[in-house]
Amino acid sequence: MTTESGTSQAPRPVGVAVLGHGTVGAEVVRIIRDDATDLEARIGAPLELRGVAVRTVSEDRGIPVELLTTDAESLIARDDVDIVVEVIGGIDLPRKLVRAALDAGKSVVTANKALLAEYTGELAEAAEAKHVDLYFEAAVAGAIPVIRPLTQSLAGDRVNRVIGIVNGTTNYILSAMDETGADYAEALAEAGRLGYAEADPTADVEGFDAASKAAILASIAFHTRVTAGDVYREGISKISAADLTSARALNCNVKLLAICERITTDDGKDKVSARVYPALVPREHPLASVSGAFNAVVVEAEASGRLMFYGQGAGGAPTASAVMGDLVMAARNRVQGGRGPRESKYADLEIAPMSEIVTRYYVNLQVADRAGVLSAVAAEFAKRGVSISAVRQEGAGNGARLVVLTHRATDEALSSTVAALDELESVTAVTSVLRLEGSAE
Ligand code: NDP
Ligand code: HSE
């Protein structure tokens, strides 16, 4: 930096506090320390690590012990801390800490989707009040740049749909079931052994994690505040090996999808739909071939057409890559002046209930194997105006099953048809119901 008298003055360092030194935090701290020279050149000032908040201070974390503290609040409040990186996880504590940082005029970078899916509004307002940045690229799909493309690169386009595989654990499980014929319990156990599934896998397998990410994506894509509670959610724990077999027969894969969509109702009103459920995806769709723990997000916008983002959605280093991108941006803003984009919620669209969503169903029924069963089943679809696209019998006698694929209809009509089928004397059980997404019909 050059002063008015023409003398050179070293730029003021940017002070960083990292809250958390676990899977993600340890990688963030490593990059800040190992890549200091490059980071300084990119930012225009040194990035200096002021401290790292943890639960347990110990000498064997590979960083100087004097950097560690259990007092996150005091670390945040230090005058020489400009940016706070929150990688603790959970909701209540990080909400308090992130608020404290923003209220004190510090920019915040967080990877915390659970926090953002509930409190983006509150936190964005706090950031706005102090003219600081709140960045969260890592909160959705780990290393994959998707928040910044939606917020900035597509800011002049009209996004109609964002559909993604945003949970690596469930994608690993479903891929393993497809590739090895394993049942759900076996695939989940293997995901646990490989470190993908946590000891309590509920947040992943029941779709809560993906629903948080869907809320974040929908908010940004449609300029509307969407919270986790607005997202319709089903998990994968009821998916069976038989569903994967049927999917293969239909030339489909089963994927847990996060779908964020602009829908226009008959009276011309735009609404936002955000939903998470396992669905059949035709094998020719780009998401069908995303296997293992990888993530991918497809964005459909009016001028750009279809864009696809693919890569590692979790893990220490990949997630730290996204955190570091945000940290460099926030640090540059500190050095050069200015701010990143603020929250955009001007459209304030209504949230569409699941019943209004138009989709296709795959229904697997255990039936009596006798004359008239097929027509009784078909009659229930016809009564509700649901058109059948294909029907196939699998097995015979006591093992007879009917697999029905519908054309597009409202979820209300489809779900009431399924409820009626369940009451039919000739239907022993509705074995499974899945939606079909991404088909041309
Ligand atoms: P970890 O559980 O591995 O690490 C959490 C860290 O927070 C630990 O270092 C822990 O300290 C510290 N911590 C917990 N409570 C406190 C407290 N009261 N005060 C100070 N420090 C505390 O979590 P991850 O690194 O896996 O995840 C961090 C965030 O990143 C979460 O929001 C997660 O959703 C998100 N994320 C994670 C991804 C991943 O692949 N892991 C991917 C994308 C996002 P100690 O070490 O002493 O226990
Ligand atoms: N549990 C998440 C997953 C981690 O499996 O994708 C990334 O948010």
Number of domains forming the structure of the chain: 3
Domain-located, residue 57 = yes
Q: Does the active-site annotation cover 113?
A: no
| 192 CA → ligand 2 middle, Å | 13
| 270 CA → ligand 2 middle, Å | 31
The phi, psi pair for 92, rounded to 5°, reads -65, -50
> Do 216 and 247 have their domain in common?
yes
Ligand 1, atom 12, lies closest to the CA of 20
> Do 280 and 193 have their domain in common?
yes
User: Of the residues 278, 312, 346, which one is the last residue of a structural domain?
Assistant: 312
> Do 179 and 305 have their domain in common?
yes
Domain-located, residue 8 = no
Q: Output the domain CATH number for residue 379.
A: 3.30.70.260
Domain-located, residue 272 = yes
Ligand 1, atom 15, lies closest to the CA of 55
178 lines ligand 2 (CB under 6 A): no
> Do 93 and 162 have their domain in common?
no
Taking the C-alpha atoms of residue 158 and residue 43, their distance in angstroms, rounded to an integer, is 32
Q: Output the domain CATH number for residue 152.
A: 3.30.360.10
197 lines ligand 2 (CB under 6 A): no
> Do 96 and 208 have their domain in common?
no
Give the ligand 1 atom nearest the CA of 209.
34
> Do 306 and 323 have their domain in common?
no
313 lines ligand 2 (CB under 6 A): yes
86 lines ligand 2 (CB under 6 A): no
Percent of the chain with pLDDT over 70: 98
136, 144, 209, best to mutate for ligand 2 pocket (most atoms within 8 Å of CB): 209
> Do 160 and 297 have their domain in common?
yes
Percent of the chain with pLDDT over 90: 92
Q: At residue 2, does pLDDT exceed 60? A: no
Q: At residue 4, does pLDDT exceed 60? A: no
| 210 CA → ligand 2 middle, Å | 8
| 21 CA → ligand 1 middle, Å | 7
Cα 434 from chain centre? 20
Predicted confidence at residue 441, as pLDDT, reads 65
Taking the C-alpha atoms of residue 371 and residue 426, their distance in angstroms, rounded to an integer, is 10
> Do 128 and 162 have their domain in common?
no
204 lines ligand 2 (CB under 6 A): yes
> Do 202 and 247 have their domain in common?
yes
For residue range 61-112, list pLDDT tens digits in order: 999 999 999 999 999 999 999 999 999 999 999 999 999 999 999 999 999 9
112 lines ligand 1 (CB under 6 A): yes
How much is the average pLDDT of 376-391?
96
Predicted confidence at residue 6, as pLDDT, reads 53
Let me know how long the chain is. 441
314 lines ligand 2 (CB under 6 A): yes
Give the ligand 2 atom nearest the CA of 170.
5
Domain-located, residue 3 = no
> Do 168 and 225 have their domain in common?
yes
Predicted confidence at residue 8, as pLDDT, reads 67
Q: Which is the catalytic residue, given 96, 106, 130, 213?
A: 213
> Do 362 and 263 have their domain in common?
no
Are residues 81 and 17 in contact, defined by beta-carbon separation less than 8 angstroms? yes
Domain containing 116 equals 14-142+317-336
pTM of the entire structure?
A: 0.96
168 lines ligand 2 (CB under 6 A): yes
Give the ligand 2 atom nearest the CA of 172.
5
Which residues neighbour 291 within 8 Å (Cβ) at sequence distance 6 or greater? 171, 175, 178, 179
Please tell me the chain's helix, strand, coil percentages from 3-state DSSP, rounded to the nearest 5: 40, 25, 35
| 168 CA → ligand 2 middle, Å | 5
Ligand 1, atom 26, lies closest to the CA of 23
The phi, psi pair for 316, rounded to 5°, reads -60, -60
Domain-located, residue 342 = no
Domain-located, residue 348 = no
24 lines ligand 1 (CB under 6 A): yes
For residue 394, name the pLDDT band (cuts at 50, 70, 90): confident
Residue reference for tokens 């890569």: 311
Q: At residue 1, does pLDDT exceed 90? A: no
Taking the C-alpha atoms of residue 331 and residue 325, their distance in angstroms, rounded to an integer, is 10
Domain-located, residue 97 = yes
Are residues 222 and 260 in contact, defined by beta-carbon separation less than 8 angstroms? yes
Taking the C-alpha atoms of residue 432 and residue 417, their distance in angstroms, rounded to an integer, is 13
105 lines ligand 1 (CB under 6 A): no
Q: At residue 419, does pLDDT exceed 60? A: yes
> Do 156 and 290 have their domain in common?
yes
For residue range 191-233, list pLDDT tens digits in order: 999 989 888 999 999 999 999 999 999 999 999 999 999 999 9
User: Of the residues 283, 301, 336, which one is the last residue of a structural domain?
Assistant: 336
Q: Output the domain CATH number for residue 96.
A: 3.40.50.720
For residue 136, name the pLDDT band (cuts at 50, 70, 90): very high
Predicted confidence at residue 5, as pLDDT, reads 54
Pairwise pLDDT comparison (399 vs 75), residue with the higher score:
75
230 lines ligand 2 (CB under 6 A): no
Domain-located, residue 422 = yes
Indicate which ligand has the atom closest to the C-alpha of 206. 2
Taking the C-alpha atoms of residue 281 and residue 435, their distance in angstroms, rounded to an integer, is 9
| 94 CA → ligand 1 middle, Å | 10
Residue reference for tokens 């940004």: 220
Taking the C-alpha atoms of residue 404 and residue 227, their distance in angstroms, rounded to an integer, is 34
| 20 CA → ligand 1 middle, Å | 5
18, 19, 24, best to mutate for ligand 1 pocket (most atoms within 8 Å of CB): 24
Ligand 2, atom 7, lies closest to the CA of 314
